[in-house]
Chains A and B, each alone.
Chain A
């Protein structure tokens, strides 16, 4: 009967700031990287996180894994708040929560062999396993990710970007995690290799019953892999909905603007499209605009948008949107379509 799968992860009122010293007599400035972050990650889904550079998407991924400590808020992993778990216990918990990084070669130790790199997490996280068992699992995982087992004694520099990313994926999978945060995992790869890695992630997700958080600036890629998509702007959630809802019926003006900016690999469609590019660039997160932070670039902005911060509203079907004018905007669009 229960249609909605259980929440693996619940993020409550997460906030992260960084302090920045400027100038010779260092004035302290505060950069708000994330604020008022509330969302759930469901068992077995792929949640995409999109936004432009500096929107906080990587910081959010790292806060979830406790690689960065958030200032406030909770990260509930199966009900337990990870922000309060002592460091030693968190280390063990990392077997369940893994990460894959953007630059595959930079994230692999150049002085370790592929076998040692993939095996390494097992030494700390699965002390009960002996050497033979560990090696056997390394070989099995290498096969799963499409690496030949005879490559086990080679070093990372002998591999291409795509193969190096397979090593990174194998290292993340070896502890049999429940959740993997993929932080721009295909951005550094060529198109043909990117497609191979995206397919591999989809296969592995099915094979190992994984839940994925997929962070990327590439909306076409996120659309391809995600069940639900979270859109961030200047450290705040502006919209969260299923992939189809986001792409077919975006509610927030920022989501709409992002989508129209995505290049389409289809010349006729591309020519038909009236690209109404978003004006300007992201404001500084040190001194964000008052009220709605998107209002300075929003074509629908009204004076009241400067006054209050739009609350993250939960709509009937569970989708989230943070815009005080979305209903009016929708009505305007409908009126335009009729005219």
Chain B
């Protein structure tokens, strides 16, 4: 028996454009353990969201996911939508950045949430509504019985995101995927939500995947992290290892680009240049045009993701210490 709840093998996501194809995610591999929080970090276009939309069968019409996403003993990829619905929402749930666009504006909160229980768990309406109200209370919505009768537009952004989380947790899924769940929220509300995520993963034993660009959020909630660049994972490992001893120059660059509230530096030390276009990835390592540690081999050959120490992998040929050399 493995203790993995989800195992992703060679996941690629491709979009067909009118005369060409764009690969948004390339050969992604990872395992998610029961009860852990994995952060997936990257900038726009890194493929972090598309990978998980692919796993959930939620890609745009011109998108296609290949590889394997093994949940228990079934492979979700390539499964017909009608079969997928038996797992989506029940075993694996996803929430998004903007709760307003994910909720049906014309249905009461109570109605949209209890529907999930009727469908997946065969509850009758009354029991479903009672369970819904209990769950709303659980995620910190005051006066849950009253708020259950509200429509989404009658709630604030923070409350709506709580409703989304409640909805995702109704069937007590093994896995919750949260795509930038706090990005649209104010900092005080964000703190409440992160606190809620921690409590919920502890209480329900849910495995959480937190897709984010914010290293502050990662540091606060995650056990392990995966850094993505140009559609590929470039570094994986425990959060502490990657924060205090990054081995990939891009991870280092992200850390140096992030302003820290506790100490004010005169100048940040950003990564130079721009993220690559997925249609024209550089030859060799995709990061080479922006990398201060780049040498000849990086221009010709693409570094594979290779193990470095305890539960760590990196995709970089440079072997020296990164900290001593300043990113120019």
Report which A residues bind B (CB closer than 8 A): 52-53, 160, 162-163, 190-196, 198-199, 202, 217-221, 223-224, 243, 247, 257-270, 275, 277-279, 281-282
Contacts and interface: CB of A to CB of B under 8 A. Distances in A.
B240 interface: yes
A247 B268 contact: no
A261 B190 contact: yes
Contacts of A221: 259
Given A52-B187, A193-B270, A224-B268, 15 more contacts: A195-B269, A195-B270, A196-B270, A198-B268, A199-B267, A221-B259, A261-B190, A262-B261, A263-B191, A264-B260, A266-B262, A267-B243, A269-B219, A270-B219, A275-B194
Interface string B254-287: 1111111110110111111011000000000000
Contacts of B215: 191, 265
The 3 closest A-B pairs by CB, nearest first: A263-B216, A195-B270, A261-B191
B270 A199 contact: yes
A224 B263 CA distance: 8
A269 B43 contact: no
B47 interface: no
Contact of B259 (A193, A198, A270, A281): A198
Contacts of B261: 219-220, 223, 247, 259, 262, 264
Contacts of B271: 192, 195
Nearest to B43: A190
B158 interface: yes
Contacts, number: 137
7 contacts: A162-B274, A191-B213, A262-B261, A264-B220, A264-B261, A277-B192, A281-B159
Contacts of A220: 216, 258-261
Contacts of B217: 263
Interface of A: prevailing SS: helix
A192 B188 contact: no
A262 B259 contact: no
Contacts of A282: 186
Nearest to A284: B156
A224 B270 contact: no
Contacts of B220: 263-264, 267, 270, 275
Nearest to A278: B188
B239 interface: yes
Given A263-B194, A263-B217, A265-B219, A258 B188 contact: yes
B264 A223 contact: yes
A192 B43 contact: yes
B43 A264 contact: no
Contacts of A52: 186-189
A163 to B, nearest CB: 8
A163 B255 CA distance: 22
B257 A194 contact: yes
Interface of B: prevailing SS: helix
Nearest to B184: A53
B134 interface: no
Given A195-B269, A264-B216, A264-B220, A53 B186 contact: yes
B268 A268 contact: no
Contacts of A263: 190-191, 194, 214, 216-217, 219-220
Given A261-B188, A277-B188, A192 B275 contact: yes
A266 B216 CA distance: 7
Nearest to A273: B220
Q: Which one of B188, B214, B254, B267 has the greatest number of beta carbons of chain A within 10 Å?
A: B188
Contact of B156 (A219, A243, A281): A281
Contacts of B272: 196
Contacts of A257: 188
Contacts of A223: 259, 261, 264
B306 interface: no
Nearest to A163: B274
B191 A192 contact: no
Given A219-B261, A224-B265, A263-B214, A193 B219 contact: no
Contacts of B125: none
Contacts of A196: 270, 272
A224 B264 contact: yes
Contacts of B274: 160, 162-163, 193
Contacts of B192: 277-279
Interface in B146-200: 156, 158-159, 186-192, 194-195
B44 interface: yes
A262 B270 CA distance: 21
Contacts of B256: 195
Interface in B224-243: 239-240, 243
A267 B218 CA distance: 8
Given A190-B275, A198-B268, A264 B262 contact: yes
A217 B264 contact: no
A262 B187 CA distance: 6
B54 interface: no
A12 B253 CA distance: 44
Q: Which one of B191, B253, B255, B271 has the greatest number of beta carbons of chain A within 10 Å?
A: B191
A211 B116 CA distance: 55
Interface string B56-93: 00000000000000000000000000000000000000
Nearest to A224: B259
A337 B145 CA distance: 42
Nearest to B158: A281
Contacts of B244: 267
Contacts of A194: 257, 270
Contacts of B258: 191, 195, 220, 265
Contacts of B240: 267-268
B216 A191 contact: no
B262 A217 contact: no
A327 to B, nearest CB: 24
